[in-house]
A and B are shown apart, each in its own frame.
Chain A
């Protein structure tokens, strides 16, 4: 028994080594160098050998210690269990701590411009994650084109703000409504699709929007992008170092020194509030009939129909509301950057947001936060090692999938309990 296991493990690791050889042989082993205008091949077999050995031995070790279910000393059964337990039981405390921390974050001693920028970026992803969580986590519709709504929100915000000069608080809802309309537009053709087919169509939709933005030059300025998007003001008070004659600005109004950090801090709180609104809204709507219908639809569409739940309307509202929050986030992005171009709305953005939702644990709000901090943090940490970033990203996903196959926070709490509602 023991010996047989050993044998299969060795076979398996040799096979892994072969795969590694096939993959890394051509990619790493054969390096072409241009010399005197001809390409020469400089083989690097030694590196390939090392990689292959690392892969094979690594596979052998994981086989022995992680996948070996009889052996209770595996990492999965000790560390993994305790982390799981902690996450499953302490979700509420984690959430509360995170909120308090994010409120005081800008005034912590170590907080600088760089950290603020990352925090703002993380909050944007968190908001997008929460928005997409409605579509994927609750309604179970795998949407790979979510960035399209982010783009629609950003562009409609920018166009209204530039051409009509309307303020942030007017353009924000307009952008949300536009994005929601595009959500419905996407929803109609995909009503009958599920799973893989749905994913492919939504992916195509995301690309269509991007290509539309690239080519509709009169409206979107194509690849040049839109510039001069008005910066947000603090309830009418702009952030400017040199105010025009007689103009009230943020620092003159409050009688303080001008500091460029003021605008950053304002942006930070703006996205924090927007994200928290998204969160509260989702928590609340999950407990309403529509939210329950979304989850029921995810579980079993045929059963829903047999109970008289209208699947068309239910799906369309999920697409529309999810898209709306994507649009809000897009508006924020536009006003923060003051410049947008189709480059910012590529498929990789959709992929990151989907990864955040899936790794966080489908439908879990706190999970989205943890996954964002983890993934975006990782990308930032590896910023200086450009070429290893994606390896780290992929590696992180593999790790999460090994230890928490259903996402970091996978336990679902009922939206209503008989115990509580009868004791009221």
Chain B
């Protein structure tokens, strides 16, 4: 069996007396979509916050396996998870830079690379050719992604002025601009209509198949989950209650009970 991209082992996160994640283990494959589902408050977002360094996990370990190294994600604090380990994420409530243009949003995502090219600003001040070239490349990359989500014509508008669905898509491609190994999406389909939802599915499949990026997906919209995920992890009260393919999940009595028991 090929090596997993992400290994989460015995992860536990406590807030005071509240156990938000309880001894959770799961793994995610490279070029596969792994969905994390569960009722409200199950601890899904908290898993992301631990993975991406926003919270310090109480116990357990998280490893990211690249071609020839195994990175312990616990060692990285917030921004370094993105910068050094290549784990990108989006947020449950969209976090764009609303007063900056769409293109600028994508350029900020390529900050570290551009910062190096600008010689920590000094070369950049004098328009050094190497910097100008790198900046052009970065614009090309941005344009590539904008073409994919069909927003090229709005590149110079403020991100905050985009319709809701477009903002969601922009946040996803912005995360892709850091060139991640693992992309964590927190409820990307929330608030989308059926058409937008279908476009989102296409985008995620494209990222998985063409970009060979592993995707970790939190989602309430079951049509999205069932249609595109390769593997599903079900959480309830911080515990993993089930894992398997989407079909297995749909028919699992534990899962049905968890949902019916708490939500309806």
Which residues of A does B touch, CB under 8 Å?
A: 281, 284-285, 288-290, 292-293, 295-296, 299-300, 302-311, 317, 412, 414-419, 421-422
Contact = CB atoms under 8 A, between A and B. Distances in A.
Interface stretch (B31-39, B117-125, B216-224, B253-261): B117-125
Contact of B82 (A292, A308, A417, A421): A308
A418 B156 contact: yes
B97 interface: yes
B88 A309 contact: no
A309 B156 contact: no
B83 A303 contact: no
B158 to A, nearest CB: 8
B176 to A, nearest CB: 11
B156 A421 contact: no
B63 interface: no
A290 B121 CA distance: 7
Interface of chain B, main secondary structure:
helix
B88 A306 contact: yes
Contact of A289 (B96, B114, B139): B114
B88 A288 contact: no
B14 interface: no
Contacts of A416: 101, 103-104, 107, 139
B108 to A, nearest CB: 4
A418 B152 CA distance: 9
Contacts of A415: 104
Nearest to B184: A306
Contacts of A304: 79, 108
Given A304-B108, A308-B111, A295 B156 contact: no
Contacts of A292: 100, 104, 107-108, 111
A284 B91 contact: no
B111 A307 contact: yes
19 contacts: A289-B107, A289-B114, A289-B118, A295-B99, A296-B104, A302-B54, A303-B95, A304-B108, A305-B78, A307-B79, A307-B82, A307-B108, A308-B81, A308-B111, A309-B79, A414-B156, A417-B101, A417-B103, A421-B139
B111 A419 contact: no
Contacts of B96: 299-300, 303
Contacts of A307: 79, 82, 88, 108-109, 111, 174-175, 178
A322 to B, nearest CB: 14
B110 to A, nearest CB: 8
Nearest to B154: A418
A216 to B, nearest CB: 34
A412 B99 contact: yes
Interface in B50-84: 52, 54, 78-84
B38 to A, nearest CB: 22
Given A290-B121, A296-B108, A414 B139 contact: no
A305 B88 CA distance: 10
Interface string B169-198: 000001100100000000000000000000
B220 to A, nearest CB: 21
B105 to A, nearest CB: 8
B115 interface: yes
A305 B89 CA distance: 10
Contacts of A289: 107, 111, 114-115, 118, 121, 124
Q: Which of B54, B104, B136, B142 has the most CB of A within 10 A?
A: B104
A308 B79 contact: yes
Given A285-B125, A300-B95, A304-B108, A310 B79 contact: yes
B173 to A, nearest CB: 12
Given A299-B97, A303-B96, A417 B156 contact: yes
A293 B111 contact: yes
A89 B70 CA distance: 55
A415 B88 CA distance: 25
B100 A295 contact: yes
B228 interface: no
Interface string B114-147: 1100100100110000000000100100110010
